[in-house]
Amino acid sequence: MATRSVAIDTLLTRLAPVLGERLRTDAEALAKVGGDESGLPAGTAAAAAWPVSRDEVVALAREAFLLGVPLVPRGAGTGKAGACIPGAGEVVVDFSRMNRIRELRPDDLFAVVEPGVVNQTLDQAASEHGFMYPPDPGSFESCTLGGNVATNAGGMRAVKYGVTRRYVWGVELVLASGEILRLGRRSIKGVGGLDLTSLVVGSEGTLGFITEATLHIIPAPPAVETAWLTFADVLAASRAADRIFARGHVPRMMEVMDAPALAAIRPLAEVAFPERAGACLLIETDGPEGRALDDLLAIAELATDAGALESAIARKEKDREAMRRARRLVSSSLKERFARKIADDVAVPRSRMGELFARAAELALGRGIPWCAYGHLGDGNLHLNLLCTTEEERRRAEPVRRELLALTVALGGSISGEHGIGLAKRDVLTLELPRPLLALQEQVKAVLDPKGLMNPGKVFPPTKAA
């Protein structure tokens, strides 16, 4: 282990009485909090803390502030942008032990949670009252709500229900200084002053620690129905989607998988997607009893008119779950086959989807790099993967990735639809945002974090001085 700085040693000494064995510097502990799902190399923090209360977070922040020690908030480490990977000399604050649902108030349409509550845990708790928490990122079985808020997480149900931002009514934020801010509201509506709550959503840990969130829950529709439909290719699937939306249908899920994605999951999926399928749509509807199925049938008919080749509707909950599981297998199956794949989640205006596909294919295949696209078709948010197996292939693919991101911006889109910037896209964020705007954002950050101790080096490219 590297020699620790005096600041860190002092911090450890001062915090030992507060955090006890929940403040650790051993290699095993540091390994646990070093990486995420970005594929980027893990980092080694100077120490890691597992607070169980806001007061502990405040105590830690205060001491770190005085000593100038940088801090990295962490949820379950399921992020895909490296936003929780620590640098040397930094202290990770892992919120997995702050995992209580403090209030669950279906009548008032909200829950108050600690940041370490797992996404699925809230959704399940809400479901016992006939409610749901809509945002469902791919990692919903393990990711935490604090992380969801910090990254403005999306998910498959976003096409109908929107992303995390729509569900965040308020947050309690502990600043780097230890100051506690209670932001937002507990009523459905409410305006008053600048909306700092929305500023915190998606800020990737750069403004402060989220120690509590007030999240909107909604009545769960009684019925959910699921189907898959196949198409000649992704463009045909996309055209069918447009037609469905144009007729006023709003499915709760509209996921696409291209041929390589289908090939990757076929050996594992419990669903037998036809071999000749060039693309597959996974569609879910929900609503009052009876309506969900009527809607799904109407959608299937529109899709068939628009060129769908085959379709299947799930009869039972276990079939529905098998279909969803098949879709969720894509990321891990690809990873298994292409260990060094580069995964981006770009978003474009929907009408540019065809151009994105054509030009991305040209770019990737022109350099002999196999690729794969799947994801949230209804949102214009696709996971584009460059399928690399070796480090050498990945190196060759990197410039293509950069061109793909530039292409996305040229098409009027965003370099990240939902994964965030973190470390992974920090150095390409200027493809999308001009430097003066980033500088202004940093000034806003500085109001809340004047010493620059909150998750330094994430989102914003380091300044020359750093």
- Of residues 246 through 285, those in contact with a second copy by CB under 8 A are 246-249
Report the nearest approach of a second copy to the CB of residue 347 (Å).
4
Binding mask 340-379 for a second copy (x = CB under 8 A): -------xxxxxx-----------------------x--x
Query: Of the candidates 97, 185, 337, 402, which one interacts with a second copy according to CB under 8 A?
Result: 185
What is the C-alpha separation between 106 and 382, in angstroms, rounded?
A: 33
Q: For residue 130, state whether it binds a second copy (rule: CB under 8 A).
A: yes
Q: For residue 414, state whether it binds a second copy (rule: CB under 8 A).
A: yes
Instruction: For a second copy, give the closer residue by CB, 165 or 325.
Output: 165
Cβ distance 278 to 259 under 8 Å?
yes
Cβ distance 313 to 246 under 8 Å?
no
Binding-site size for a second copy (CB under 8 A) equals 90
300 token code pair: 């299937």
- Determine the interface stretch with a second copy among 49-57, 120-128, 161-169, 329-337 (rule: CB under 8 A): 161-169
Query: Of the candidates 70, 333, 445, 455, which one interacts with a second copy according to CB under 8 A?
Result: 445
Burial of 417 (0-12, 13-18, 19+ CB in 10 A): buried
Binding mask 208-247 for a second copy (x = CB under 8 A): -----------xxxx-------------------x--xxx
Q: For residue 444, state whether it binds a second copy (rule: CB under 8 A).
A: yes
**Which of 110, 163, 116 lies closest to 136 in space, CA to CA?**
163
Q: For residue 105, state whether it binds a second copy (rule: CB under 8 A).
A: yes
Q: In what order do the strands lie in the sheet with 209-216?
A: 101-105, 110-113, 209-216, 168-174, 180-184
Instruction: For a second copy, give the closer residue by CB, 141 or 179.
Output: 179
Query: Of the candidates 135, 146, 178, 413, which one interacts with a second copy according to CB under 8 A?
Result: 413
Instruction: For a second copy, give the closer residue by CB, 42 or 223.
Output: 223
Q: For residue 287, state whether it binds a second copy (rule: CB under 8 A).
A: yes
Interface residues for a second copy in 301-340 (CB under 8 A)?
none
Q: In what order do the strands lie in the sheet with 223-231?
A: 311-313, 223-231, 279-287, 253-258, 371-376, 381-386, 342-347
CA 22 vs CA 15, 26, 142, 242: distances in Å: 10, 12, 21, 52
Q: For residue 151, state whether it binds a second copy (rule: CB under 8 A).
A: yes
Instruction: For a second copy, give the closer residue by CB, 294 or 310.
Output: 294
Instruction: For a second copy, give the closer residue by CB, 224 or 271.
Output: 224
Report the nearest approach of a second copy to the CB of residue 21 (Å).
34
- Determine the interface stretch with a second copy among 9-17, 33-41, 384-392, 434-442 (rule: CB under 8 A): 434-442
Cβ distance 388 to 340 under 8 Å?
yes
**How many Cβ atoms sit within 10 Å of the Cβ of residue 106?**
16
**Looking only at Cα atoms, what is the longest distance across the chain?**
70
Query: Of the candidates 38, 311, 331, 381, which one interacts with a second copy according to CB under 8 A?
Result: 381
What is the C-alpha separation between 304 and 309, in angstroms, rounded?
A: 7
What is the C-alpha separation between 293 and 302, in angstroms, rounded?
A: 14
Interface residues for a second copy in 75-104 (CB under 8 A)?
none
Q: For residue 462, state whether it binds a second copy (rule: CB under 8 A).
A: no
Instruction: Quote the distance between the C-alpha of residue 123 and its chain's center.
Output: 17
Query: Of the candidates 201, 261, 369, 453, which one interacts with a second copy according to CB under 8 A?
Result: 201
340 token code pair: 């060094």
Q: For residue 448, state whether it binds a second copy (rule: CB under 8 A).
A: yes
β-pairing, 311-313 vs 371-376, is unpaired
